[in-house]
Amino acid sequence: MLTFSYRENVKDEEKLKGDMHQCVCLIRNHYPDFQYVVIREFHDSEHTNQPEHEINPSTN
């Protein structure tokens, strides 16, 4: 299962379709039989998918 999200709250249908098309094309370059189901989940402006703790790769 893959989950894709945007930092901002994107509601532009054409942008979503275009971005998804680009992503599927990139995946299918490596996995030609890749199949998928898209479920869009819109959130209000208060919702964020930010982690509670930021990971800083330079400190690892």
pLDDT digit of tens for each residue in the chain (60 aa)? 888 888 888 888 899 999 999 999 999 999 999 999 988 877 766 555 555 555 566 654
Q: What pTM was computed for the model?
A: 0.60
pLDDT of residue 53: 54
CA pair distance 54, 51, nearest whole angstrom = 6
CA pair distance 60, 52, nearest whole angstrom = 18
pLDDT of residue 28: 96
pLDDT of residue 1: 81
pLDDT of residue 52: 54
User: Structural domain boundaries of the chain?
Assistant: 10-44
CA pair distance 10, 8, nearest whole angstrom = 6
